[in-house]
Amino acid sequence: NLCYDYYGHMIKNFSPDGYFAQLKKFREEADKYNSPLWVTLLSIGHWDYETPNKDDFVWQISTAVASGCEGILWFSFYSEMPFFNNYRNGPINLFGERSFTYTYLSEAVREFHHFYGEQFTHLKLVKSYHIGEAYGGFPLFKEGDSDVILKVEDIKYHNPAIISFFKDENGDDYFAVVNNSRTGVARI
């Protein structure tokens, strides 16, 4: 397995370009070696990284899967770091207790698995496109990129989105559409 970590998306006023550039780069490397891609995402506030809320966990999971990640690890589950290092609000606090971050992470992961988890274990990414605004070198979806889907847009809020195409082991086609705004809603 190829696995890497990236947390730049959890800095206040972040630019999504770095996050998506890394997803694209590592997906291409994993494809080159026919290796599953895993990513380590952020579950604990520290330094200038924000503590993720539930929406942040949903966004991290959804965008990673839509970009071809087949597994997710979390940094760091336990708040065992010394207080002076500014690690805060980990899913398991310094006293070994579940924190509010644990609840957010647990709900986001369980909801994804409940609705999509089984299906995505059988899918392999074919291509990801961004909608409205492209980040990190991903192409914008345009007419002609799919013979089934002609247009995708956020018709109300005009937030960015992702559309990804997958195949299962039988060669059947699937697609996923993901809101690509960390803070806004979308009506796709």
Flag whether the pTM goes above 0.85.
Answer: yes
Three-state DSSP at 26 gives helix
CB atoms within 10 A of CB 55: 16
- Render pLDDT for 126-151 as a digit per residue (tens, 0 to 9): 999 999 999 999 999 999 999 999 99
C-alpha R_g of the chain: 17
- Render pLDDT for 6-17 as a digit per residue (tens, 0 to 9): 999 999 888 899
- Render pLDDT for 29-52 as a digit per residue (tens, 0 to 9): 999 999 999 999 999 998 899 999
Placement of tokens 């606090």 in the chain: 93
